[in-house]
Structure 1
Amino acid sequence: MEKNISCSFSDLSSNLGISCFIAFITIILVRVIYVIYRTGKPLSKRSPQALSTLIVLGSGGHTAEMINLLLVLQKDRFTPRFFIAAATDNMSIQKARVLESSWADSQSGVKGISAEFMQIYRSREVGQSYITSVWTTLVAMVHALWLMIKIRPQVVLCNGPGTCFPLCVIAFIFKVIGIRWSSIFYVESIARVKRLSLSGLLLYKLRIADQFFVQWPQLHRKYPRAHYVGCLM
């Protein structure tokens, strides 16, 4: 008798555990579908006037293109601003500092405008083997998670550097679990005429970006969910 009761209790516990697991997975899937459905929708009218903004910089032409985009930014709307570049990309951070300094000089006396500058570990350096990049990618993801918890931006602006991918993935996860709703805006580099960059392709296929912009009509025809905006440089 006691053996039968013990077996019944064990079966009940096992079934309860399976049911809880299925319920958890179902809730996560429903939440993911909801987030994807909401992707691209305008910000709520009840959102605060100022939106904390994460700006991802990249070596080479990525930062130059981003600076051009920021020149038309509503600075009093997208503030405070957080600039992030790779740990080895000091030049991009310097360019961002110069930009912010020029804005501060031209708008002296304006309150509420601020900026912070941060650097993040690269997932993979140029020429690094794929085997060793597994470890560096894990380190980069942990570092990206720490930065995103610290910043919790309402807007993410990026234009192609590999540094942006872990940050955008974590921003998407934050949406799913309800920590912070971040609107992700991705502008593909003007250098990409026929094919998306790896970062852009992943963000497009996984539907992580809220708004996805391309600068060439060939890309728009190939990726119809993207918005063609012409050459921004």
Structure 2
Amino acid sequence: MALEIVFLFFMFWIILKYCVPLSADSGRCSTMLVLGSGNFFASPFTFGIGGHTAELMSYVRLLPPAYSPRIYVVASNDNLSGEKALELENTRPNNDFLIEKLPRARAVGQSYFTSVFTTCYAIIVATLLVLKHRPRLVLCNGPGTCVPVCLAARVVHSLMRGSKAVVFVESICRTRRLSLSGRLLYHLHLVRVVVQWPYLVKKYPRATYLGLLS
């Protein structure tokens, strides 16, 4: 297992150094935005609600034009989030963006055994997306889709030069406890966690409190 991990990191280094061309720094900050709803494992109670997408869209509206190109990552079966991204971008003067699809880690009703394989597949696809676009900022706020993306971004960023950031903004609905995605990312030290309620900083001292953002 250890040899496989070392080999994987070596392959990442080779791809970054020789296979992925560096884009010229023109003062722009390529930004990857993870849209969707629900937790790391989809459930019939959260699928399709779109609350996380609506919140993240409110943040995107405030981003300066320099935060481009914007790469929206949505679950492969989440058409609503992609449509919301298109609606927003059609109102912006600088609509330098694209939408990428990512398979869900676990579908509704899927067994936990087979979800191990689909989760690994989602992480591989997320890694390829991060390698393809090399975002300087990854921004998400709770959908389960963000976990593979943040994991991939943290690994790839550790092998890249320059200033990079992976930021998880917890949903405004979370007043006493982080979401499942938030807890995973927080305890694995994969992202900078931003919360919108002061109580959460007491419970999660490494989080950053910025007040209500939505």
**TM-score normalised according to structure 1 size:** 0.72
Structure 1 runs not aligned, ≥5 long: 1-20, 29-46
Residue 83 of structure 2 is aligned with which of 76, 90, 94? 94
Residues 1-32 of structure 1: CA deviation (Å, up to 9, x unaligned): xxxxxxxxxxxxxxxxxxxx9xx8xxx9xxxx
Residue 69 of structure 1 is aligned with which of 55, 59, 65? 59
Residues 37-70 of structure 1: CA deviation (Å, up to 9, x unaligned): xxxxxxxxxx751011000001320000001111
Max radius of gyration: which structure? 1
Aligned-pair CA distance for 1:180? 7.2
Tell me the residue number matched to 2:137: 155
Tell me the residue number matched to 2:189: 207
Alpha-carbon separation, structure 1, partners of 2:153 and 2:127:
9
- Distance of aligned partners of 1:198 and 1:98 in 2 relative to their CA distance in 1, 3 Å threshold: same
Does residue 73 of structure 2 align to residue 84 of structure 1?
yes
Residue 58 of structure 1 is aligned with which of 13, 30, 36? 36
Alpha-carbon separation, structure 2, partners of 1:129 and 1:159:
26
Is contact 1:80-1:115 (8 Å) kept? yes
Identity of aligned residues (%): 45
Residues 139-167 of structure 1: CA deviation (Å, up to 9, x unaligned): 11121122111111111000011111111
Alpha-carbon separation, structure 2, partners of 1:99 and 1:56:
15
Residue 197 of structure 1 is aligned with which of 179, 195, 210? 179
Is contact 2:131-2:156 (8 Å) kept? no
Tell me the residue number matched to 1:219: 200
Q: Which has the higher helix share?
A: 1
Residues 198-218 of structure 1: CA deviation (Å, up to 9, x unaligned): 221122122221x32111122
Alpha-carbon separation, structure 2, partners of 1:152 and 1:232:
27
Aligned length: 181
Alpha-carbon separation, structure 2, partners of 1:179 and 1:220:
31
Tell me the residue number matched to 1:4: none
- Aligned Cα root-mean-square deviation (Å): 2.1
**TM-score normalised according to structure 2 size:** 0.78
Structure 2 runs not aligned, ≥5 long: 11-24, 38-49
Alpha-carbon separation, structure 1, partners of 2:104 and 2:67:
26
Amino acid at match of 1:114: D
Aligned-pair CA distance for 1:92? 0.2
Alpha-carbon separation, structure 2, partners of 1:140 and 1:228:
30
Q: State the secondary structure of the residue aligned to 1:131.
A: helix
Alpha-carbon separation, structure 2, partners of 1:226 and 1:115:
30
Tell me the residue number matched to 1:15: none
Tell me the residue number matched to 1:140: 122
